[in-house]
Chain A
């Protein structure tokens, strides 16, 4: 028997790794994957609470979050392709057109 707190701690650790990835990575593709990792950590916590409360509603939420993650990946990767065609680089520091 595993307590619910252990699952929440794993979710928090995954979220923290995602935050580190977003802040540290210089490759735009790794950055997008780190965002996906943070969404996954949230999903794990939702499912854990859904089990603890014996309510199925969390599974529907996870389904919706997965849809949002898929949409985000599709649009984000399309933007990466377009910017790569202009800049010939996946380095985030080169993507500075909107920087003041």
Chain B
């Protein structure tokens, strides 16, 4: 077996293992860490396919920023893995879900297996042309020439996401909350009156 084959098999195994463990974990923090493991293995696969810049982006942006955002939210919500997740679904429901998901995967696999691709270029680290293909310069050239409009539109998308996230996660202002919670405020005023009366 060639070096490429060994690298591919190890990376693919680790990527699938991390993904499966991510779904199976009960604790959300270990779930995130298994997802990072899977992402690192996927980045190795990307390097093997010659996409050096994209694999660096995957490590830096995905596991460095997005998954840290997940960890941050888990910390903010103070999840310890022992929270109540309710009753598990009935076995018949679970069976239906497994059949649907595994059926979809097997179907995808059959379609891939039965397709004869017009140009089956062998891939791998030894594929050649490694320095030119997939470098940051090449990707940047594409992004600023042929895909300039989509690239600029992503900035609008990111701006909308930032503003939306801030507005959605913002806590309600206290004067708005007081208007909604009449009984609580009256209770508070009553307790204040009692406190005032107590010294007398």
Contacts and interface: CB of A to CB of B under 8 A. Distances in A.
Interface string B98-114: 10111011001100110
Interface of A is mostly: helix
Contacts, number: 245
Interface residues of B, number: 89
Nearest to A22: B101
A79 to B, nearest CB: 6
Contact of A17 (B16, B32, B162): B16
Nearest to B138: A56
A54 B121 contact: yes
Interface of B is mostly: helix
Contacts of A85: 171
A69 B66 contact: yes
Interface in A1-20: 1-10, 12-20
Given A29-B31, A59-B139, A7 B49 contact: yes
B84 to A, nearest CB: 7
Contacts of A47: 46, 49, 51, 54
Given A4-B121, A90-B79, A79 B168 contact: yes
Interface string A51-86: 111101101101110111111111101111110110
Given A37-B19, A40-B39, A72-B161, 9 more contacts: A2-B8, A7-B45, A13-B109, A19-B105, A25-B23, A51-B49, A51-B127, A74-B161, A77-B165
Interface of A: 1-10, 12-21, 23-27, 29-30, 32-34, 36-37, 40, 43-44, 47-48, 50-54, 56-57, 59-60, 62-64, 66-75, 77-82, 84-85, 89-91, 93-94
Interface of B: 2, 4-5, 8, 12, 15-16, 19-20, 22-23, 25-26, 28, 31-32, 35, 38-39, 42, 45-46, 48-51, 53-54, 57-58, 61-62, 65-66, 69-70, 73-74, 76-77, 79, 83-86, 88, 94, 97-98, 100-102, 104-105, 108-109, 112-113, 117, 119-124, 126-127, 133-134, 138-139, 142-143, 146-147, 150-151, 154, 157-158, 160-162, 164-166, 168-169, 171
